[in-house]
């Protein structure tokens, strides 16, 4: 079995070999069988706050790997790496097709008719209008019902847009959530439209779909066209999405969801970001590039390290530039997951 997951960090134990703290054993003939052992390692400053040990249950060979948490409250180092990866994925869906139309879409939550204020928690005087900036929050049960239907509403919105534009037009997206001050989630999305259709019609259809009562988003939908040939504009928009995804990664696990039909109460269950199948890069694709870079860095020294960093970083995906975890390693490419396969979605 090969090393699974993001193993750009699996070459951190060479110091243990040099200190003679344990006996070296030959690699398993048929391949190692790896298992994660959680909560056994101290933080590695500047690398990971909660590293995990990956142990072969056959030969006892082991390596440290990142916790890969996307929550900054758990590990700021891994969360930052994940944020950069998400930004890279967001950029990829627009930069690979610069002649298509791009739209920055924001779909907000509805007003008081659906999400009433919880007056018991207001701290302002009775004659003042409630608002999130004043610390007012939405009624918890109404908010939980709204959050439970977020995924379904987005799916209905995308479906309505695609059907209205017709089969000759392709609509792809990269979506993130952001919590408002009042507690309600709203959606930010990078949308790509391919096909022969007027820009005015696209914007009209998107606004029409957002206003449908059976979809349920608020009236303040923002549909802003983006010039996909402008690299700075694309990078800035993807950066916004990555920031919102990072922000919601900490918030979403605590979001309360209530199924109005069954009364079932749940926490979390919403992904901080998602993308359509043909959007662009995937996290798997980025991990493959990272493994290839790590393999080159571990076997070829500083010169190869610099070359791989420049090439792979330009292709997309943040690289782990902490060289001490790669350069000079006596493990070589054998400890890094095979780069077999492609990045195809």
pLDDT digits (tens, 9 = 90+) for 90-146: 999 999 889 999 999 999 999 988 999 998 888 888 788 888 888 899 999 999 999
What does the pLDDT average to over 26-47? 75
**DSSP state letter for 27:** P
User: Residue 17 and residue 44: Cα distance in Å, rounded?
Assistant: 18
CA dihedral 84, 87, 88, 94 (to 10 degrees): -170
What's the CATH code, domain 97-122+129-275? 3.30.70.360
Structure-block tokens of residue 168: 């000759």
Average pLDDT of the residues in 4-9: 36
- CB atoms inside a 10 Å sphere around CB 137: 19
Beta-carbon-side half-sphere exposure of residue 278 (alpha carbons within 13 Å): 7
pLDDT given at position 27: 60
Instruction: Return the number of other C-beta atoms located less than 10 Å from residue 299's C-beta.
Output: 16
**Could you tell me the residue ranges of all domains in the chain?**
7-76+283-335, 97-122+129-275
Which CB contacts under 8 angstroms, 24+ apart, belong to 129-132?
A: 131/182, 132/180, 132/181, 132/182, 132/183
Helix (H) or strand (E) holding 171: strand 170-179
Report long-range pairs for 259-262 (Cβ below 8 Å, ≥24 apart): 259/148, 260/145, 260/148
Q: Is the pLDDT of residue 2 over 70?
A: no
What contacts 9, CB < 8 A, 6 or more positions away? 47, 48, 51, 64, 65, 66, 320, 325
Helices first, then strands: H and E counts in the chain:
7, 10
CA-CA distance, 265 to 260, in Å (whole number)? 9
Distances (CA, A) of 281 to 67, 83, 180, 227: 22, 14, 29, 20
pLDDT value at position 294?
A: 66
Range from 21-30, 189-198, 206-215 that averages highest in pLDDT = 189-198
Average pLDDT over residues 302-325: 39
Question: What are 155-160's contacts with CB under 8 Å, separation 24+?
Answer: 156/214, 156/215, 157/107, 157/209, 157/210, 157/215, 157/217, 158/276, 160/208, 160/209, 160/212, 160/215
**Closest C-alpha to 63, from 34, 43, 39, 42:** 34
Task: Identify the DSSP state of 38.
Answer: T
pLDDT the model gives residue 196 = 92
Could you tell me the two tokens for 76?
């700021």
């Amino acid at each position: 079995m090969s090393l699974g997951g993001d193993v750009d960090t699996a070459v951190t134990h060479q110091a243990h070999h040099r200190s003679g703290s344990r006996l070296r054993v030959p690699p398993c003939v048929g391949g190692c069988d790896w298992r994660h052992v959680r909560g056994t390692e101290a933080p590695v400053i500047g690398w990971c706050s909660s590293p995990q040990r990956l142990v072969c249950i056959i030969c006892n060979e082991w390596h440290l790997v990142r916790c890969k948490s996307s929550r900054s409250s758990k590990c700021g180092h891994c969360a930052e790496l994940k944020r950069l990866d998400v930004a890279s994925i967001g950029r990829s869906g627009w930069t690979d097709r610069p002649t298509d139309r791009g739209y920055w879409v924001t779909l907000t939550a509805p007003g008081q008719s659906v999400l009433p204020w919880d007056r018991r928690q207001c701290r302002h005087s009775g004659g003042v209008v409630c608002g999130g900036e004043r610390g007012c929050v939405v009624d918890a049960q109404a908010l939980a019902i709204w959050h439970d239907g977020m995924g379904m509403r987005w799916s209905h919105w995308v479906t309505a847009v695609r059907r209205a534009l017709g089969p000759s037009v392709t609509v792809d997206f990269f979506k993130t959530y952001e919590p408002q001050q009042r507690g309600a989630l709203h959606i930010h999305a990078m949308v790509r439209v391919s096909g022969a259709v007027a820009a005015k019609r696209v914007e009209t259809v998107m606004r029409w779909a957002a206003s449908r009562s059976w979809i349920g988003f608020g009236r303040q939908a923002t549909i802003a066209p983006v010039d996909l040939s402008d690299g700075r504009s694309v990078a800035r928009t993807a950066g916004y999405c990555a920031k919102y995804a990072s922000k919601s990664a900490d918030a979403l696990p605590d979001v309360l969801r209530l199924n109005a039909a069954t009364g079932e109460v749940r926490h979390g269950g919403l992904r901080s970001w998602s993308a359509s199948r043909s959007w662009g890069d995937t996290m798997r694709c980025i991990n493959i590039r990272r493994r290839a870079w790590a393999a080159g860095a571990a076997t070829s020294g500083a010169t190869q390290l610099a070359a791989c960093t420049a090439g792979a970083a330009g292709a997309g995906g943040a690289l782990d530039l902490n060289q001490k975890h790669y350069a000079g390693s006596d493990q070589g490419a054998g400890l890094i997951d095979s780069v077999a396969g492609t990045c195809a979605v």
